[in-house]
């Protein structure tokens, strides 16, 4: 009996010591939508113009935000430069990873164009194909030597890298746009979407990826574009002004995603998979904005008109010419740092920093199997 207790004590000490070993990730490979797009959609379909980027970069930087995204804060925390978009061929350095996310991307491919639906054609399966090609071709290019060795990741970076995911929001809104009920989406669409997500993670694992960082989706029912675009009744709103049916849908998706992570941990025996409850962090910010130093919660910082300073026909940065002079219609607020929502769809840099601070402790454990 004594020897068993001693062995258990030794094992517990071993687990405690391993938990304090700091993770080192030489690269990040990111997959997602606008919540983590650092220039993909801009490179493919035209640059996001001012005032995007105005709070930090001083000019547009491919992000639909006034500054940094959560993925930028993750890179900073790990000690890596900000990620270049895979689709951006101008001035990109991929030695520390690449970003395959594009704004509007779903997990499941949609049978429509960007102009028809507003959703990106770069669904998660396409992003995986891009990653797979990059994985192979980057090493061929790196073998040429010279400057290429400084622009492409080392071969072992792929097995040591952190693979980050923030995607799923657009699948839910696309299904809702298609006039499907919350019940239909929950029972039919979500299982299929989650299945495709699991396939993507498994495919990356089969290519050597071992460390996965997975965000769940946020309370989409608190975003102005959802509230304004969807036919909602007064009874659909909760006491904080958010649309309950959409938030419930997001929570259904998150429950299924969490179960998928549990299954993946079983099947992918060498993987360390971290599931991040971003929903709770974002919901906390909407519900208790003032308590966290914010003045605006549901009302957009940059936009035009209406209850939420959002108009789907007049986006943030929209300009018109009056008497030969260009003026903003969709203009930013005076204090972006006090607003939660940037443009009715995306979060401000200040909100992204708040969200990051809620999840950052997970980075020290992201290289350890749970």
Question: Which residues, other chains included, contact 209 with Cβ-Cβ below 8 Å and sequence gap of 6+?
Answer: 29, 158, 159, 161, 163, 271
With CA atoms as reference, report the closest residue to 84 among 159, 138, 145, 146.
138
Q: What values do phi and psi take at 77, rounded to 5?
A: -65, -35
CA distance 356 to 348: 12
Q: What values do phi and psi take at 218, rounded to 5?
A: -85, 180
Query: CB–CB of 246/230 below 8 Å?
Result: yes
Query: Has 368 been annotated as catalytic?
Result: no
Rg (CA), the chain: 21
Question: Which residues, other chains included, contact 30 with Cβ-Cβ below 8 Å and sequence gap of 6+?
Answer: 36, 38, 71, 83, 97, 98, 99, 100, 101, 163, 164, 165, 166
Query: Has 3 been annotated as catalytic?
Result: no
Dihedral over Cα of 54, 55, 58, 60: its sign? negative
Query: Has 304 been annotated as catalytic?
Result: no
- The catalytically annotated residue of 20, 33, 34, 77 is 34
CA distance 303 to 316: 5
CA distance 48 to 38: 11
- The catalytically annotated residue of 6, 159, 343, 357 is 343
Q: How far is CA 205 from the centre of its chain?
A: 20
Q: DSSP state, 181?
A: -
Coil vs helix vs strand at 208: coil
Question: Which residues, other chains included, contact 57 with Cβ-Cβ below 8 Å and sequence gap of 6+?
Answer: 63, 67
Query: CB–CB of 252/190 below 8 Å?
Result: yes
Find tokens 């995911």 and name the residue. Answer: 165
- The catalytically annotated residue of 112, 304, 346, 364 is 346
The residues annotated with a catalytic role in the active site are 34, 343, 346
């Amino acid at each position: 009996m004594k020897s068993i207790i001693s062995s258990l004590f030794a094992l517990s000490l071993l687990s405690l010591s391993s938990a304090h070993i700091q993770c080192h990730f030489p690269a990040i490979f990111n997959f997602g939508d606008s919540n983590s797009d650092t220039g993909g959609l801009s490179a493919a379909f035209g640059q996001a113009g001012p005032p995007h980027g105005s709070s930090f970069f001083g000019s547009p930087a491919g992000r639909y935000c006034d500054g940094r995204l959560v993925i930028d804060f993750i890179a900073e925390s790990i000690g890596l430069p900000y990620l270049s978009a895979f689709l951006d061929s101008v001035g990109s350095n991929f030695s520390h990873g690449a970003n395959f996310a594009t704004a509007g991307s779903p997990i499941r491919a949609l049978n429509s164009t960007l102009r028809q639906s507003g959703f990106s054609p770069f669904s998660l399966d396409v992003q995986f194909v891009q990653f797979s090609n990059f994985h192979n071709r980057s090493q061929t290019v790196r073998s040429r030597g010279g400057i290429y060795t400084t622009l492409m990741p080392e071969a072992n970076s792929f097995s040591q890298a952190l693979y980050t995911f923030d995607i799923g929001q657009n699948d839910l809104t696309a299904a809702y746009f298609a006039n499907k009920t919350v019940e239909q989406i929950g029972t039919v669409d979500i299982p299929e979407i989650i299945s495709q997500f699991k396939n993507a993670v498994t495919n990356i694992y089969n290519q050597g990826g071992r460390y996965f960082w997975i965000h769940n989706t946020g309370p989409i029912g608190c975003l102005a574009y959802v509230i304004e675009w969807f036919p909602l009744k007064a009874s659909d709103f909760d006491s904080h002004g958010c649309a309950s049916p959409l938030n419930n849908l997001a929570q259904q998706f998150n429950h299924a995603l969490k179960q998928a992570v549990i299954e993946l941990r079983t099947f992918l025996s060498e993987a360390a998979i971290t599931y991040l409850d971003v929903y709770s962090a974002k919901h906390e910010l909407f519900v208790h904005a003032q308590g966290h130093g914010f003045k605006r919660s549901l009302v957009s910082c940059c936009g035009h008109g209406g209850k939420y300073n959002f108009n789907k026909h007049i986006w943030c940065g929209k300009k018109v010419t009056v008497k030969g002079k260009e003026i903003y219609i969709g203009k930013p607020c005076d204090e972006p740092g006090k607003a939660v929502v940037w443009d009715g769809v995306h979060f401000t840099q200040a909100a992204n920093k708040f969200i990051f601070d809620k999840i950052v402790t997970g980075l020290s454990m992201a290289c350890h199997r749970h």
